[in-house]
Amino acid sequence: MPAYQYGGDPFSAMNFDADLEHLEKARGEGRFFENLIRAELLDNTYRALLTVVPDPDMEERKRRAELDRLAAIEARLTEEERARILADALRLKADQDARQDLALLPTLELISTEQKDLLPLFSRALTHSGAAGEDYAEIAGRIASVTGGVGAAAQVQSLAVRDDYLQSFVISGRALDRNAQPFIELLTDLVARLEIEPRRLKEIIAEITTRLESSLAGLGFQFALLRAHSKLSSEGAINDRLQGIGMLHTMRKLARLDEHSLGDLISQLDEIRKVLFRAEALRIVVTCEEAMIQPFEELLTGLVGALAPDGADGHPVKPPALERKPEARTAPVPVAFNVRVFKTVRYTHQDSPALLVLANYLRDTYLHRELREKGGAYGAYAQAGVASATFYFGSYRDPNIVRTYDIFDTAVRWVTDGEIDAEALKEAILGACGDVDPLESPDIKGRREATNRVTGFTREARELFKQRLLQVTADDLRRVTGSYLLGAPAVQTTVAGSDLIEAARKERPALFEVVAAI
């Protein structure tokens, strides 16, 4: 397309070998790129200079215009209208503070702890096994021919207002409108007619375990981060079992089973399927053009009808957080992954936006300089979990352990006692705005909006968060640092090579209370 737009031959892009031959011949004649740069860039007089000058008064004009608009509206309000607005505001606050009806959500809470440990395997087996009389190869062919991919995963989603979370299992996929019927038929076969064969299950277990074992260097930070969070909350403990060290240990145990011992495991996976996929527990989110809504409603009726009615009973299972002991895990890596996590406040709290800005500010200034430039770490992080009410410091592929934890300590004092650079603060605010309002594809945006509705991240709450974000000041950064990080209790976990951990223990014996292999 670019070639066509600029008068070129659009078919030439398909004849890539001819272009390579032409380039090789031109290079052989000498100074091809040098002459090209001079002719097309340096000596090219057909150029344009566009200067964009920011308007420093635009935000203030917009703010004043909005205040004037609101004042004009307020002046026209009758007493009855004022009373109605006040009542609406009070009702909104009551709705935000109310406990959400979690019984209406697709939930993992009726699955036992042992079954939850199998969810990573079940997620993979669901989309990589046979179904409805077809083997894995045939199902894979259907997925490839009528969809843009189908995935499944257990998820833990924080609530916006109170210190709690939802547990759910999500199946997602995308397809063209013309493939709507075969797409829904495929999903129906997967959730209602799944067939897991022992040989195929053994292959899936081996694939997952091999991928994890061969990726420890890349997963070290994720494992350290999830392990640290597991010491703060039940929510973190579940995530560690689903995606962290707990998952790795479960897969290693399953990998030791031979093919003839997988019958009980297949029965457990089928029981998980029956508990999860019940008609009354299903929540369907479709992102599509308006003309496709009715066809999808008709197609989805068949999917719902193929599921068992709601018959599950039991008590919610939420594991406790682990002990808050500093922990080190040895791994076959020559570097360290260090994490320290603090408990903070939820999304709707007035300090949450300032904590998000603080994380960006620290990451791009002090931590980048001290851990990356001076310390040699590949990555230096500060992140505010505004949904989970956490704040963490972290380092990635770090040659240091003791020094890094010292930097985590001094980073807090650097904010409370030092000068805050105005330009860096502005950049941190802009970065935070990008964090809370990212560009997303329509399907992801639709899923996120549906999740926001049931977890309390309402449009009103998000707009208020953005407004507070733009109002964060240097004093706010100092205040939240002093309130939530300075001298506050924290948990920490390190995943590193055994030599690095042993050296750290010799230098500072009390740094870790628990040391074990990953």
Asked if 277 and 307 touch (Cβ cutoff 8 Å), the reply is yes
**Of the candidate ranges 26-30, 91-95, 121-125, 340-344, the one whose mean pLDDT is the lowest:** 91-95
pLDDT of 129 above 80: yes
Written as six digits, the tokens of 22 are 């032409």
The pLDDT of residue 88: 81
Helices 352-362 + 422-436 axis angle, to 10: 120
The pLDDT of residue 96: 44
**pLDDT grade, residue 31 (50/70/90)?**
confident
Most confident of 32-46, 146-160, 359-373: 359-373
Spatial neighbors of 235 by CB under 8 A, at least 6 apart, are 156, 158, 165, 229, 388
- Residues of 152-184 as b/e, b for ≥16 C-beta within 10 angstroms? bbbbbbbbbbbebbbbbbbbebbbeeeebeebb
Asked if 389 and 344 touch (Cβ cutoff 8 Å), the reply is yes
pLDDT of 2 above 80: no
Look at the block and give the residue holding tokens 């230096």. Answer: 380
Spatial neighbors of 90 by CB under 8 A, at least 6 apart, are none
The pLDDT of residue 93: 58
User: Can you tell me the mean pLDDT for 297-324?
Assistant: 78
The pLDDT of residue 228: 96
**pLDDT grade, residue 439 (50/70/90)?**
confident
Spatial neighbors of 306 by CB under 8 A, at least 6 apart, are 188, 191, 192, 193
Alpha-carbon distance 182 to 143, whole Å? 9
Helix (H) or strand (E) holding 494: strand 490-496
**Of the candidate ranges 68-77, 86-95, 243-252, 302-311, the one whose mean pLDDT is the lowest:** 86-95
Alpha-carbon distance 481 to 342, whole Å? 11
User: Can you tell me the mean pLDDT for 487-501?
Assistant: 96
Written as six digits, the tokens of 441 are 């594809």
Alpha-carbon distance 387 to 352, whole Å? 9
pLDDT of 312 above 80: no
Mean pLDDT of the chain, nearest integer? 89
List, in sequence order, every residue forming a beta bridge with 338; answer none if it has no partner.
395, 494
Alpha-carbon distance 88 to 447, whole Å? 28
187 alpha-carbon distance from chain centroid = 24
User: Can you tell me the mean pLDDT for 407-420?
Assistant: 96
Output phi, psi for 42, to 5 deg: -65, -45
Written as six digits, the tokens of 29 are 């004649």
pLDDT of 315 above 60: no
Q: Which of 312, 282, 278 is nearest to 104 (CA)?
A: 282
Written as six digits, the tokens of 18 are 């001819």
The pLDDT of residue 27: 82
Q: Provide the 8-state DSSP code for 486.
A: T
Q: Which is more confidently placed, 108 or 90?
A: 90
The pLDDT of residue 52: 85
**Of the candidate ranges 9-18, 234-243, 245-254, the one whose mean pLDDT is the lowest:** 9-18
The pLDDT of residue 162: 82
Asked if 325 and 319 touch (Cβ cutoff 8 Å), the reply is no
Alpha-carbon distance 508 to 191, whole Å? 53
Q: Which is more confidently placed, 358 or 102?
A: 358
Alpha-carbon distance 259 to 133, whole Å? 21
pLDDT of 103 above 50: no
Task: Tell me how far apart the 2 most distant CA atoms of the chain are, in Å.
Answer: 86
Alpha-carbon distance 414 to 125, whole Å? 49
Domains 102-305 and 327-517 share a fold: yes
* Domain boundaries along the sequence of the chain: 2-42, 58-97, 102-305, 327-517
268-298 residue pLDDT tens: 999 999 989 988 888 888 988 889 999 999 9
In CATH, the number for domain 102-305 is 3.30.830.10
Asked if 453 and 285 touch (Cβ cutoff 8 Å), the reply is no
pLDDT of 159 above 60: yes
368-382 residue pLDDT tens: 999 999 999 999 999
The pLDDT of residue 427: 95
% of the chain residues with pLDDT over 70: 93
The pLDDT of residue 99: 42
Taking phi over 0 as left and psi of -120 to 50 as alpha, with beta for the rest, 30 belongs to: left
Helix (H, G, I), strand (E, B) or coil at 269: helix
Q: Which is more confidently placed, 96 or 360?
A: 360
52-79 residue pLDDT tens: 888 888 878 888 898 899 889 989 989 9
DSSP of 115-135: HHTTHHHHHHHHHSSEETTB-
335-350 residue pLDDT tens: 999 999 999 999 999 9
pLDDT of 105 above 80: no
The pLDDT of residue 448: 83
Tell me the residue type at 55: D
Alpha-carbon distance 115 to 493, whole Å? 26
> What architecture (CATH level 2) is domain 327-517?
2-Layer Sandwich (3.30)
Q: Is 423 exposed, middle or buried (0-12, 13-18, 19+ CB in 10 A)?
A: exposed
**pLDDT grade, residue 251 (50/70/90)?**
very high
**Of the candidate ranges 44-53, 134-143, 227-236, 375-384, the one whose mean pLDDT is the lowest:** 44-53
106 alpha-carbon distance from chain centroid = 19
